[in-house]
Structure 1
Amino acid sequence: MVLTQPYTAEEVSLQSYALIRRYTEWKSERKEEIPVMVGKLKILPLQRTVEWEHKRIPVVKREFDFLYLLATTPGRVYTYSQIYQLVWQEYPHGDITNIIYCMVHRLKQKLKKVDVNAEHIISSVKEVGYCLKVYKES
C-alpha cells in the first residue's frame, strides 16, 4: 500500500480495510469443498447445506451455523454464551437461553422429519449448553 502525503487518518483506514477485504476474498476462493461428516449427518460448508443419510434438511442461517459449530468439534460442550457469541456474532445480552432453546427446538423438529432418531444427535447439557453426540453405528 502506497499513500502519498498529505494523507488523512480516514484515508489510511479505508485503504487498510480495502486490503483486508481483498485478502479475505482471495483466501476464501477455495475450489474444493470438504464436507463435515458426523455419523449420518453431512454438512457442506460452501453450499451451506445439511444432509441426513443423503436427504437434504432445509435450515436457516443460524441453524446451519449452529450445526456446523457443533459438527466441527463433536463431543465438545458449548455454553449458551459461547453459542450466542459464535452463531449470532454478538455479545450475549438478555435471555439468550430461551433464544437458543427455541432455535434448537425448531432444528430438532426438522431433523425429526427426516429420521426419528436424527434429533438425538444434538444433546442438551442441563443449564450449560449443547453438544453433538457421536453414536457408533451398529
Structure 2
Amino acid sequence: MSENNEEQPLNLEVPDHLSYSEEHVWVDESVSPALVGITEYAANQMGELVFVDLPEPGTRVEAGDEIVELESAKAVQPLICPVSGTVRYVNHEAADDPSVITNDPYGEGWILKIELDDDEPDLLTADEYAKLAK
C-alpha cells in the first residue's frame, strides 16, 4: 500500500448529465429506473468504504429518507435519498466490494435504481453542485 498524504486539489468530476442533491448524492434520470449514487466529493470525504447496507428491492422511499448506510474506516454515513419512488435494483457488486463505489462513483459504483414518482425532484444542476462542493 502506498502512502500518499498530499492534499488533493478540488478538481472533482461533476458529470453534466446528472442531477445532484446538497447531500452529495447524484441521480441519473436519463435511464429508467433512475440510477442513484454518491458523488466523487462524498467518496473522497468518506475514504475507502468497507461496508454498504442496501435496502431490499421493492422498498418505497421518500425524498429525505436515509436509505443506505455507508461505512468507512473514518465514519458511518447515511445516504439521504434525493428522490421519491420505489427501489427496483440494488448494486450487489458494490455491497460485495464497496471499494467500487470509492473508485468509480459515477460508473460501476452506482448504488440503487429507483422507479421515480411523477413529482419533480428538487435537485441541483452540475454547475450548481460544483459551486456547492468547492
- TM-score norm. by structure 1 comes to 0.25
More strand by share: 2
Q: Which has the higher contact order (CA 8 A, sep 6+)?
A: 2
Which one has the largest radius of gyration?
A: 1
TM-score by length of 2: 0.25
Q: Judging by fraction of residues, say which structure has more helix.
A: 1
